[in-house]
C-alpha cells in the first residue's frame, strides 16, 4: 500500500514512485531530502538539511503506522562525508536507545543542486513493545 504524509512533498512526477510503502508489517521510505521550491530547506547547512530529511522520514514512518523506534535500517547519502558529524547530531535528535542498522554512502550529487543529505528508512511496524522493549526480547 502506498503511503503519504501531508507535511511531506509528493514526488514531482506523480506516479513515478511512492514516498513510502507498507507490505504486511514492513515499511520502506524513499530517500528523503530537504529539497523545496526555493532550494534546500536549511540552505547549505548539512545539519539543518539533515533535520528536515529526518523530519520527513519520521512523518512518513508515522503515516505507515510505525514509530521511529520501529525503524530497523537507515541509509544516509552525503555529498560530503565530512558532514557525517552534523548529520549524526540531527540523527541523534530522532533516534535513541537501540539504534537502527545504518549505512552511510558518499555520493557525487543528489537529485537537486545544493542538496547535501538524503535519508531512506525501512522497518517493522510495532517492532517495539509499548514498554520500549524490542520485539522478540
Residues 6+ apart with CB under 8 A from 30: 11, 17, 18, 19, 20, 120
Question: Is the confidence at residue 127, as pLDDT, over 60?
Answer: yes
Question: Interhelix angle for 84-92 vs 46-63, to 10°?
Answer: 40
The reported pLDDT for the residue numbered 22 is: 95
- 133 found inside a domain: no
- 136 found inside a domain: no
* pLDDT digit string, tens, across residues 93-102: 999 888 999 9
- 132 found inside a domain: no
- 134 found inside a domain: no
Question: Is the confidence at residue 72, as pLDDT, over 90?
Answer: yes
- 137 found inside a domain: no
Domain extent at residue 47: 2-124
**Number of separate domains in the chain:** 1
- DSSP conformation class of 32: B
Start-to-end CA span in the chain (Å): 29
Half-sphere exposure of 120 (CA within 13 A, CB side): 14
The reported pLDDT for the residue numbered 10 is: 79
- 59 found inside a domain: yes
Question: Is the confidence at residue 118, as pLDDT, over 80?
Answer: yes
- 106 found inside a domain: yes
- 28 found inside a domain: yes
Q: Say which CATH number the domain at 19 has.
A: 3.30.1330.40
Which stretches does DSSP call E strand in the chain?
A: 2-3, 20-23, 26-29, 71-78, 101-106, 117-124
Beta bridge partners of 102: 74
| Polymer length of the chain | 137
Give the pLDDT band (50/70/90) at residue 89. very high
The reported pLDDT for the residue numbered 128 is: 64
What global pTM score does this model have? 0.88
Q: What is the mean pLDDT of residues 81-99?
A: 95
3-state secondary structure at position 70: helix
Beta strand 71-78 with 101-106 is: parallel
Q: Give me the percent of the chain exceeding a pLDDT of 90.
A: 72
Amino acid at each position: 500500500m502506498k503511503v503519504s504524509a501531508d507535511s511531506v512533498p509528493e514526488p514531482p512526477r506523480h506516479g513515478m514512485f511512492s514516498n513510502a510503502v507498507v507490505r504486511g508489517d514492513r515499511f520502506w521510505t524513499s530517500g528523503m531530502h530537504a529539497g523545496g521550491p526555493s532550494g534546500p530547506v536549511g540552505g547549505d547547512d548539512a545539519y539543518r538539511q539533515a533535520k528536515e530529511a529526518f523530519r520527513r522520514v519520521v512523518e512518513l514512518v508515522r503515516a505507515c503506522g510505525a514509530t521511529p523506534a520501529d525503524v530497523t535500517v537507515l541509509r544516509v547519502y552525503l555529498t560530503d562525508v565530512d558532514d557525517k558529524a552534523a548529520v549524526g547530531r540531527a540523527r541523534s535528535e530522532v533516534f535513541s536507545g537501540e539504534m537502527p542498522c545504518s549505512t552511510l554512502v558518499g555520493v557525487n550529487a543528489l537529485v537537486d543542486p545544493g542538496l547535501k543529505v538524503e535519508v531512506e528508512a525501512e522497518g517493522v511496524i510495532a517492532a517495539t513493545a509499548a514498554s520500549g522493549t524490542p520485539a522478540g526480547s
